[in-house]
A and B are shown apart, each in its own frame.
Chain A
Amino acid sequence: MVDRFELEARSLSVAYDGADGALPALQSIDLPVRAGAFVAVLGPSGSGKTTLLNAFAGFVRPTAGEVFFRGRPIAGPSAERAVVFQRHALLPWLDVADNVAFPLKVRGIPYRTRRQAVVPLLLRVGLAEFASKPVWTLSGGMQQRVGLARALAADPAVLLLDEPLGALDAITREDMQRVLLDLWATTAKTALLITHDIEEAVFLATHLVVLSERPGRIVARLDLDFSARVAAGEDAAAIRADHAFTAVKAELRAIMHRGASAAALGHAA
């Protein structure tokens, strides 16, 4: 039987229409993602990593190559692949519970039923007591919890995370990484995280790819087990301080600097 991946990019290239010709954003990306994996895509600003997520989400079409979800070509956005954005994605006129229940609303589930249905989710992300608060009164970290809970309410197969923690302060960010990790570990969903934060990528990913500067190509692939260890009960702080953890971070930092200078010189990395 042919191995079927949950998500797959095959020789994916994406170019945008610019003022003077096509602007290549991604070049020949091959990225198979197994069900249940947590893939982090690490890259500098402008490396096309959000374009990669947009291709998996179905927001942009490949210029060349293909993207698949469970072996079928991706034709457009779908509730099987929910996206969590960095900001601006919540609906400020709704309260927390109504935001989280939005995926149920569009499926025609009645108001009372859907508000009841999201209570367990709100409990899981620590928002139960904020259910009736307008979302715009919450802090940035709380808003991202709403965004996460809402994506999970759609019960997607894949969570696409577009720098969801990018606008948070360092401490809130680490807390949210734990929330994200716990949700991933307990729901057995496939996750694809876009980030430029090396520590975050190393902490969360089971598989990590590094993109070069524009046009983005994959310059490194790593398999990691730190998130699995945390999920298995090891102390997160101890793992972050682990020698192996810091060594991987240092290696990635070197790779990213090399990628940047290679791009500046116009060479392939």
Chain B
Amino acid sequence: MMEVLFMGTPRAVAEQIAREREAPIHPPVDPPAVRTVRRKPWRPRPSLLLALSLVFWLALWSLASWLQWVQPLFLPSPLAVAERFGSTLTAGFADATLLQHIAASLVRVLSALACALLVGIPVGIGMGLSPLIRGIFDPVIEAYRPIPPLAYLPLVVIWFGIGEGPKILLIFLAILPAIALSTASGVRGVPLERINAALTLGANRFQLLRDVILPNALPDILVGTRIGLAVGWSTLVAAELVAATRGLGFMIHTASNFLVTDVVIVGIITIAAIAFAMEFVMRLLERRLTPWKGKL
């Protein structure tokens, strides 16, 4: 049939050719299947890598103490630290067991966090809604935020003394910027459509704040809380330097004064483990409370 395809007036032939061009004679051929048998480069699972890394550093530590590369006074063996961990749990150190030290520290950090949430969220909302309030608070927060808490600790002691309050205040000051600034950015980040929709559905200003703006800022508030908690926890040792009688920071400080290096290491590991646990819990909380984050 190919021979008689082009028949008729020149115009008809031209149209036929144009049609033929658009509809190819040969059906499209699937591209050759991509070969998937190529060997994948070996990639270890993250959990395996973590375990290997821990074993390696623990082995190096054991070797260093066993071969006495460093004096046991400065670097006790892992076994000695583990034994000390047990004894601080049961017999305690510096007039308190490890759990009592942990509890004292947790109470300080969590009370500071509660205060920071109580102050930081309203301040953040204000900063997010009003340029005037932002103008008042933003310079102060941005100015003191980069200063290490250890630097203004003496001032806090001069002004407020050495009781429990100033310790919580120091941690509070470290946590506050993270919460206030993230709340402000969450409030500013509400899509305009969401606000306008709520207004045309009859919401008043208070309902707009409670039912639209605040829930919308919740993911940012939670991120701010997680970051703030980490900062606050790392401020702990500084806060417990002055006239504490309990707490992980106090325990480390006292142990270092008496060169009880294994207690120092027990304290450091405990602080690290609790920081890790807090991060984990906060991330879990974020997934539970705001599964819709970034979804709509």
Q: Which positions in A face B, CB cutoff 8 Å?
A: 57-59, 76-79, 81-83, 85-93, 102-103, 105-107, 134-136, 143, 150-151, 154, 156, 160
Chain B residues within an 8 Å CB radius of A77: 196, 199-200
Q: How far is the CB of B133 from chain A (nearest CB, A)?
A: 24
Cβ proximity bits B260-296 to A, threshold 8 Å, 1 near / 0 not? 0000000000000000000000000000001110011
Complex contact A136–B296 (CB within 8 A): yes
Which residues does chain B contribute within 8 Å of A134, judged by CB atoms?
291-292
Q: Are A91 and B200 in contact (CB under 8 A)?
A: no
> In the complex, are the beta carbons of B202 and A85 less than 8 A apart?
no
Q: For A106, what are the chain B residues with a Cβ–Cβ distance below 8 Å?
A: 198, 201-204, 207, 211
Interface of A is mostly: loop
Q: Is there an interface contact between A89 and B292, defined as CB atoms closer than 8 Å?
A: no
Question: B218 near A85 (CB under 8 angstroms)?
Answer: no
Q: Is there contact, CB below 8 Å, between B211 and A89? A: no
B199 to A, closest residue via Cβ:
A77
Q: From B295, which residue of chain A is reached at the shortest CB distance?
A: A136
In the complex, the answer to whether A85 meets B196 with C-beta atoms within 8 Å is yes
B191 within 8 A of A: yes
Could you pull out 9 A-B pairs where Cβ atoms are within 8 angstroms?
Answer: A77-B200, A78-B200, A85-B197, A92-B292, A92-B295, A103-B202, A106-B202, A106-B203, A150-B201
User: Is B255 interfacial (CB 8 A cutoff)?
Assistant: no
Q: B194: which A residues are within 8 A, CB to CB? A: 88-91
Residue of A nearest to B219 (CB): A93
Could you tell me the distance in whole angstroms from the C-beta of B211 to the nearest C-beta in chain A?
Answer: 7
Query: Given A88-B194, A93-B290, does the pair A82, B211 have CB atoms closer than 8 Å?
Result: no
Which residue of chain A is the closest to B202 with respect to CB atoms?
Answer: A79
Closest to B218 in A: A93
Main SS of the interface on chain B?
helix
Is B212 positioned at the interface, with any CB of A under 8 Å from its CB?
Answer: yes
Query: 19 new A-B pairs (CB below 8 Å) besides A79-B202, A106-B211, A136-B292?
Result: A57-B196, A59-B196, A76-B199, A78-B202, A82-B200, A82-B201, A85-B193, A85-B197, A88-B191, A89-B191, A90-B296, A91-B211, A93-B290, A103-B201, A106-B201, A143-B296, A150-B201, A151-B201, A156-B200
How far does the Cβ of A193 sit from chain B's closest Cβ, in whole Å? 15
Q: Given A91-B212, A106-B211, does the pair A57, B200 have CB atoms closer than 8 Å?
A: yes
B292 pairs with A107, CB closer than 8 A: no
Q: Say how far B101's CB is from chain A's closest CB, in angstroms.
A: 39
Report which B residues bind A (CB closer than 8 A): 191, 193-194, 196-204, 207, 211-212, 215, 218, 290-292, 295-296
Closest chain B CB from A104 CB (angstroms): 9
CA distance A58 to B291 in the complex (A): 33
Chain B nearest CB from A162 CB (Å) reads 8
Given the complex of chains A and B, what is the CA–CA distance between A81 and B198 in angstroms? 12
Chain A residues with Cβ below 8 Å from B199 are 76-77
The chain A residue with its CB closest to the CB of B208 is A106
Whether the Cβ atoms of B296 and A88 lie closer than 8 Å is yes
Q: Tell me the minimal C-beta distance from B236 to chain A in angstroms.
A: 33
Most buried by A among B199, B202, B207: B202
User: With A105-B211, A106-B207, A136-B295 in contact, do A89 and B193 touch (Cβ < 8 Å)?
Assistant: yes
Which of A82, A143, A160: most chain B CB closer than 10 A? A82
Q: B215, A83: Cβ atoms under 8 Å?
A: no
Report B-chain residues with C-beta under 8 Å of the C-beta of A136.
292, 295-296
Chain B residues with CB under 8 A of A92: 292, 295-296
Instruction: Give chain B nearest CB distance to A61 CB in angstroms.
Output: 14
Minimum distance in angstroms from A96 CB to a CB of chain B: 12
Q: In whole Å, how far is B85's beta carbon from the nearest beta carbon of chain A?
A: 43
Residues of chain B within 8 A of A143, CB atoms compared:
296
Give complex CA distance A134, B215 in Å. Answer: 14
Q: Which residue of B lies closest to A84 (CB)?
A: B197
- Inter-chain CA distance A262–B116, complex, in Å, is 60
Name the A residues within 8 Å of B291 (CB-CB).
Answer: 134
Q: State whether B202 touches A93 (Cβ < 8 A).
A: no
Measured between beta carbons, the chain A residues less than 8 angstroms from B203 are: 102, 106
The reply to whether B292 and A83 form a contact with Cβ atoms under 8 Å apart is no
CB distance from B87 to the nearest CB of A (A): 49
The smallest beta-carbon distance between A17 and chain B, in angstroms, is 16
B198 / chain A contacts, CB cutoff of 8 Å: 102, 106
Q: Is the beta-carbon distance between B215 and A91 smaller than 8 angstroms? A: yes
Provide the bound-state CA to CA distance between A235 and B285, in Å. Answer: 52
Cα of A128 to Cα of B193 in the assembled complex, Å: 25
Query: Could you tell me the distance between the alpha carbons of A150 and B292 in the complex, rounded to whole angstroms?
Result: 19
The smallest C-beta distance from B194 to any residue of chain A, in angstroms, reads 6
**Residues of chain A within 8 A of B295, CB atoms compared:** 92, 136
Q: B196 contacts which of A83, A105, A154 (Cβ < 8 Å)?
A: A83
- Whether B211 pairs with A88 at a CB distance below 8 angstroms is no
Which residue of A has the minimal Cβ distance to B291? Answer: A134
What's the least CB distance linking B17 to chain A, in Å?
29
Tell me, rounded to whole Å, the shortest Cβ–Cβ distance linking A172 to chain B.
Answer: 17
